[in-house]
Amino acid sequence: MKKLIAIFAMAAAVVGVQAAEVSLKVDGLVCEKGCLTKVKKSLGDVKGVNLKGSKFATGKKLGAVKVSFCDKTTTKNKIMAAIKKAGYKVAEAPKKAKGKGKKKA
């Protein structure tokens, strides 16, 4: 019975974690090796950032970054500050409008 209670307590703790994601435009992020490594290292120093859940665009879309993080542990501003500290200009990417421009037949 004690093991069952412990399992439910752990599950409740996991559910309490708030996952968030921010889309960023990183100016100067021009190479897939050195630049990405520098940004990933900088983000890895921010407590609450999930690098495995984050996405770094490559090829023609290089510079587009989606960072996954725990919003109870860190903030968008801390994430952006870490990227700036790595030497890049960063801004939140504009959100795409859903359903705009489509006409119903």
Identify the structural domains of the chain with CATH numbers, from first to last: 18-92 (3.30.70.100)
pLDDT at position 65, please? 92
pLDDT at position 39, please? 93
In the DSSP assignment, the letter for residue 41 is H
Q: Mark the ranges of the chain whose per-residue pLDDT is less than 50.
A: 4, 6, 8-16
pLDDT at position 100, please? 55
The radius of gyration computed from the CA coordinates of the chain, to the nearest angstrom, equals 18
pLDDT at position 57, please? 86
pLDDT at position 95, please? 78
Gap between the Cα atoms of 82 and 45, Å rounded: 8
CA distances from 65 to 7, 30, 62, 100 (A): 36, 12, 8, 24
SS3 at position 13: helix
81 phi and psi angles, rounded to 5 deg: -65, -40
- Do residues 70 and 13 touch, judged by C-beta distance below 8 A? no
